[in-house]
Structure 1
Amino acid sequence: MPAPRTVLLTGAAGGLGTLMRGLLPAYGYDLRLLDIRPIDDEPRALTADLADRDALREAVRGTDAVLHLAGISLESTFDKILKANIEGTYHLYEAAREEGVRRIVFASSNHAVGFTPRPRGDDPLIPVGTPRRPDTFYGLSKSFGEDLAQFYWDKHGIETVSVRIGSCFPEPTSVRMLSVWMSPDDGARLFHAALTAEDVRHTVVYGSSANTRLWWDLASARALGYEPRDDSERYAPKLIAEQGELDPANPDHAHLGGHFCTNPPVWPY
């Protein structure tokens, strides 16, 4: 498909959304911004809840694609996750269907497979086809989102790239993150590839940089044209000196989802 120009960015006020607001315009995108919270420095941004179906249709109308980052990004009660992440994502897909938008990039998460044992030693990298094992209600909602994306491709011909994001921050903050970190620059490269690749149907990819300590297989992301350029290893000496290496006997270190499997951080709102 030709490179989309106008892209609806949901969750534009969040951490990842803020990073992408700064990086994606360099790829030629005119971003239309949407968030439940006002964005002070973006007076044209749309402020709406994902439950507002009329507002969603208006936001989607006339766009070439959607980068869907909105929703709760930590653990919460099932009722809150249901409203924001499950029903909200359904409302977004319905708005896209009604307005004829044919490409969505969905922010899935590694927590959709969080209870997968992490690789150790010479273990093979985790493939995208590994059985889903969500570690939280949050991870469960991302599993739902991937199935929803598959359904909307099969039923309505809406293409989706579901990106199982690791941790996208300016730099990693933990030893675990050395394996799942995606630099903001690589995040923009991956989202650009997901927005422009031909014939994606529904494709699931892992979202990270080309880390020396990588846990998962980036082959399906590379097949989109993604070429990661960053590696977390330059941060490793400092983090390991402060925190030590991962301990196989520590339950927080046993699975791909880390402490989300044992004591997940809770959404503050």
Structure 2
Amino acid sequence: MADQRVLITGSAGIVGTLMRPRLRRPGRVLRLLDLAAQPAAEDGEAAEIVTGSVTDPAVMAGACAGADALIHLGGHSRENSWEATLDVNINGTHTVLEAARQAGVKRVILASSNHAVGFRRNADAGEAGLPADSSPRPDTYYGVSKAAIESLGSLYHSRFGMDVIVVRIGSCFETPLPLGPRGLITWLSPDDGARLFEACLSAPSPGYRLIWGVSDNTRRIYSLAEAEALGYKSLDNAEAYAGQLADKPGPTGAAAEFVGGPFCTAPLGEFNPI
């Protein structure tokens, strides 16, 4: 039986770097695409390194050739100028999806963000959590680009029959500590991230789905029902780090009121590291 080949764009980014060792499996080849330099395959690691941009049709055509599935993480992961956001996040995702379509890739997983719905109120979540298919209320140009990515995924499913799963990621770091108290709400642990992507890769005939990418945190405001329907089971909880954040001030004002937190008041079009 031939190996499963999974193409990961943006594989040198934060999430891609965390997923690379966690998505290794016997019988699976990871094809890792990024503009940035990446470590060569380790002994025993089935990995193919591709250097190039998601905005380059020729690069993407070559990267998609022979791929069984695609995890699209590539793009600007924070607020940036409208021109850069449009070029890389929106046009780049169209380039990726078109290359995948032409190559016959049947399963596509798109990384979206909580910032696609950043201006939804935390208080609207209810006991079951904010539904994963809540309509967009972006908080930034970055959030707009994620809403556009979601729509492109829907279009490519409906038009071409691709299975497309869109993951609205909260925040995926080794720990929730970089985001302070807000991380106790939004954290997706790296191990849970791998569990989630494995569920997305293996779920039979999912069609088009929107799901939240978060751990089962005590303070989460996001529904996990949609991800669990695909087979995801979170085993981690950001609350384990709460003691280390006890002396850190929590968000206030709009950052406390809205899902997007501090993105809701950050300047539009200016890169920020939050």
Q: Scaled by the length of structure 2, what TM-score is found? A: 0.91
CA 1:27–1:192 in 2, change beyond 3 Å: closer, same or farther? farther
Rounded to whole Å, the distance in 1 between the matches of 2:28 and 2:230 is 18
Aligned AA for 2:13? G
1:153 to 2:152 alignment: no
The residue number in structure 2 matching 1:31 is 30
CA 1:157–1:169 in 2, change beyond 3 Å: closer, same or farther? same
Rounded to whole Å, the distance in 2 between the matches of 1:182 and 1:257 is 16
1:12 to 2:11 alignment: yes
Q: Select the residue among 178, 182, 191 that pairs with 1:185.
A: 191
The residue number in structure 2 matching 1:103 is 107
Say how many residue pairs are matched. 264
Q: Select the residue among 89, 95, 109 that pairs with 1:85.
A: 89
Query: SS at the partner of 2:70?
Result: strand
Counterpart contact for 1:103–1:160, Cα < 8 Å: yes
Counterpart contact for 1:110–1:165, Cα < 8 Å: yes
Query: SS at the partner of 2:165?
Result: strand
Rounded to whole Å, the distance in 2 between the matches of 1:213 and 1:54 is 44
The residue number in structure 1 matching 2:44 is none
Q: Select the residue among 220, 224, 238 that pairs with 2:226.
A: 220
The residue number in structure 2 matching 1:137 is 141
CA 1:3–1:103 in 2, change beyond 3 Å: closer, same or farther? farther
Between 208-217 and 47-56, the greater mean CA deviation after superposition = 47-56
CA 1:122–1:154 in 2, change beyond 3 Å: closer, same or farther? closer
CA 1:152–1:260 in 2, change beyond 3 Å: closer, same or farther? same
Deviation at 1:124, TM superposition (A): 4.8
Q: Select the residue among 223, 237, 251 that pairs with 2:254.
A: 251
Structure 1 residue ranges, 4+ long, deviating more than 4 angstroms after superposition: 120-124
Counterpart contact for 1:3–1:195, Cα < 8 Å: no
Rounded to whole Å, the distance in 2 between the matches of 1:142 and 1:3 is 34
Aligned AA for 1:252? A
Q: Select the residue among 182, 192, 206 that pairs with 1:176.
A: 182
Aligned AA for 1:151? L
1:266 to 2:266 alignment: no
Query: SS at the partner of 1:243?
Result: coil
CA 1:254–1:61 in 2, change beyond 3 Å: closer, same or farther? same
Aligned AA for 2:10? G
Gaps of 5+ in 1: none
Counterpart contact for 2:8–2:71, Cα < 8 Å: yes
Between 66-75 and 121-130, the greater mean CA deviation after superposition = 121-130
1:114 to 2:113 alignment: no
Rounded to whole Å, the distance in 2 between the matches of 1:28 and 1:11 is 22
Q: Select the residue among 162, 166, 171 that pairs with 2:166.
A: 162
Query: SS at the partner of 2:181?
Result: coil
Counterpart contact for 2:12–2:36, Cα < 8 Å: yes
Aligned AA for 2:247? E
Query: SS at the partner of 1:176?
Result: helix
Gaps of 5+ in 2: 42-46
Counterpart contact for 1:114–1:261, Cα < 8 Å: yes
Query: SS at the partner of 2:123?
Result: coil
Q: Scaled by the length of structure 1, what TM-score is found? A: 0.92
Counterpart contact for 1:166–1:206, Cα < 8 Å: yes
1:62 to 2:66 alignment: yes
The residue number in structure 2 matching 1:234 is 240
% identical aligned pairs = 42
Rounded to whole Å, the distance in 1 between the matches of 2:168 and 2:105 is 22
Counterpart contact for 2:165–2:200, Cα < 8 Å: yes
Once the two structures are superposed, what CA deviation does each residue of 1:202-240 show, in whole Å capped at 9, x if it has no partner?
Answer: 10000011101011101010000000000011111221x
Rounded to whole Å, the distance in 1 between the matches of 2:2 and 2:78 is 32
Deviation at 1:120, TM superposition (A): 7.9
Deviation at 1:106, TM superposition (A): 0.4
Once the two structures are superposed, what CA deviation does each residue of 1:137-161 show, in whole Å capped at 9, x if it has no partner?
Answer: 1111110111101100110111111
Deviation at 1:4, TM superposition (A): 7.7
Counterpart contact for 1:64–1:101, Cα < 8 Å: yes
Counterpart contact for 1:119–1:126, Cα < 8 Å: no
